[in-house]
Every structure is written in C-alpha cells, then in structure tokens.
Amino acid sequence: MWIGVVTLFPEMFTALTGHGVVGRAVRQELIELEFFNPRDHAEGAYRRVDDRPYGGGPGMVMQVAPLWRALQQAREQAQKRQLRPHVLYMSPQGRVLRQPQVRHWVQERQEQGLILLCGRYEGIDERLLEMAVDEECSIGDYVLSGGELPAMVLVDAMTRWLPGALGHGESAAEDSFSAVWLDCPHYTRPPNFAGREVPAVLLSGDHAEVAHWRHRQRVLRTASRRPDLLSTIELSEEERGWIEGAASGRTDGA
C-alpha cells in the first residue's frame, strides 16, 4: 500500500518505520511511505511556509502555495504508480478514527493509496482544504501540535490489517474493537508470579474450554469497561446471563 505524507517533519516518521510491526511491513514492502515536504516548495531566502492570519489573532497559518505544490508532487508520484489516492487531512475537526474506519480505508485504499496531509501551527489556509482535501480525520477530541503523530497512528492502525503484516499467529481480528468486543486478558510464563496464578483453564490444554473462557472474558470486559459498546451488540442469552451474573456478584460463570 502506497501512502504519501505531506509534512514539514518527515524525520519524525523514523520512529514508526524503524520498529515493530510497521518497520517489518516497510521492509517487506507491504507498505511504502513517501514524504513530500512543503518547505522544499517554498520560495524566498527563508523558505517560509507560514504567515500571519488575516483578521489578526495569535499564531501562524500554513500557506496555500507550498502545500499545493507538495500535494501536486505527491499526486504525480502516485500517478506514476497508476494510483488515484484519496487525500486525508489529519485534523481535530475531522471524523474521529475508529477501528471499522481503519479497516474500511485499508480495504478501499490498498489498491489506490492515500495521501496524508499533516498540519502545523494554527492550521492550514482553508482554501487548500477546500481545493485538495477529500476527508478530514481526527484521532480524538484533543489538540496536538501537528498532524504527524495522528498520521503515524493511522498508518500503524492500518498496517495491522494488511495481509501478512502481523507475525504468525497474530491476528488483528482478535484485537479490541475488531469484532465488537474488547480483547480478553492475556498471560504468559511463569504460571505463578508473586502468588498470582494464571487461570487454570489456560493451562488445561482444552481448546474448546479456552475459547469459551476467552469469549466470556471479552463479554465481561466490554460490559464493565465500555458498556456503551453493548448498545451495538445483539447479546445471546448466555452472554446476557454472564453480564447479569457479574453485575449481581455471582462468580459461578452463569
């Protein structure tokens, strides 16, 4: 999957591309990140990319022209690969990112690529957004200093859905939010640490029992930590019984 990133700080992305799942996906060429720096398209001795806001007020605004030229260069590179990328502006005013959207973009955009636009300062001159952006994407209701971290969050989340990106035995489909539930608790060796035992069922070797236990844990975790998610789920009778049992303090698994 090709992703063009328009950013003043491409070097920040080495924190993402040099490590872990994304680093491996880059080395395996499952994902290719290409950077386009508006500073390379700025004019004048100081190569300025920002200016004071019309109407006054604090802070600076990213200028249209260097961003427009950087975006054009990104589009040309995409065209050479016969791609027709969607342009996403990472913005606190965009639709808040959720797992189904991540998955949708991977499915829809894997063949055509994406261009991620990272803002800085007070934001970007509105005319650039009107002329060049298809969609705005927020990573949450808070404001960061730039779009680079949000872009990295999105790339990491999407990479997990690229076929072959996760190692053997790992599956994005079991992660929290991928189906409807939060993930179950996980344990590894030793079986006893400071008197705390791993649940016996996980040591039993009974795969059906383990699967049943894990499902119950997913249901109970979701009910206790994110009850808001339950409204999107049609509960089976057994699942409803687990939740009601936990709420009334029963520990018998009913």
Ligand X SMILES: C[S@@+](CC[C@H](N)C(=O)[O-])C[C@H]1O[C@@H](n2cnc3c(N)ncnc32)[C@H](O)[C@@H]1O
Q: Which of 61, 83, 115, 118 binds ligand X (CB under 6 A)?
A: 118
Please report whether residue 140 would count as binding ligand X according to CB under 6 A. yes
For this structure, is 130 an active site residue? no
Give 113 or 119: the residue with its C-beta nearer to ligand X: 119
Classify the phi-psi angles of 21: left when phi > 0, otherwise alpha if psi is within -120 to 50, otherwise beta: alpha
Instruction: Considering the candidates 66, 85, 92, 150, report the single residue annotated as catalytic.
Output: 92
| Options 44-52, 90-98, 162-170, 211-219: segment touching ligand X (CB under 6 A) | 90-98
Distance between CA atoms of 23 and 254, rounded to whole angstroms?
44
| Options 18-26, 112-120, 166-174, 200-208: segment touching ligand X (CB under 6 A) | 112-120
Q: Considering the complex, what minimum distance in angstroms separates the CB of residue 57 from ligand X?
A: 10
Measured in whole angstroms, how far is the alpha carbon of residue 139 from the centre of its chain?
8
Q: Which of 37, 73, 138, 222 binds ligand X (CB under 6 A)?
A: 138
For this structure, is 95 an active site residue? no
Distance between CA atoms of 8 and 147, rounded to whole angstroms?
10
For this structure, is 160 an active site residue? yes
Find the distance separating the first CA and the last CA of the chain, reported in whole Å.
46
For this structure, is 175 an active site residue? yes
Q: Is the dihedral of CA 60, 65, 70, 71 positive or negative?
A: positive
Q: Which of 25, 49, 83, 139 binds ligand X (CB under 6 A)?
A: 139
Instruction: Considering the candidates 160, 214, 216, 218, report the single residue annotated as catalytic.
Output: 160
CA angle 99, 84, 150 (to 5 degrees): 35
Measured in whole angstroms, how far is the alpha carbon of residue 147 from the centre of its chain?
13
- C-beta of residue 4 within 8 angstroms of C-beta of residue 70: no
Please report whether residue 146 would count as binding ligand X according to CB under 6 A. yes
Give 9 or 177: the residue with its C-beta nearer to ligand X: 9
Q: Considering the complex, what minimum distance in angstroms separates the CB of residue 146 from ligand X?
A: 5
70 token code pair: 């950087």
Distance between CA atoms of 109 and 122, rounded to whole angstroms?
29
Q: Which residues bind ligand X (CB under 6 A)?
A: 90-93, 118-120, 122-124, 138-140, 142-147, 150
Q: Which residues are catalytic?
A: 92, 122, 160, 175
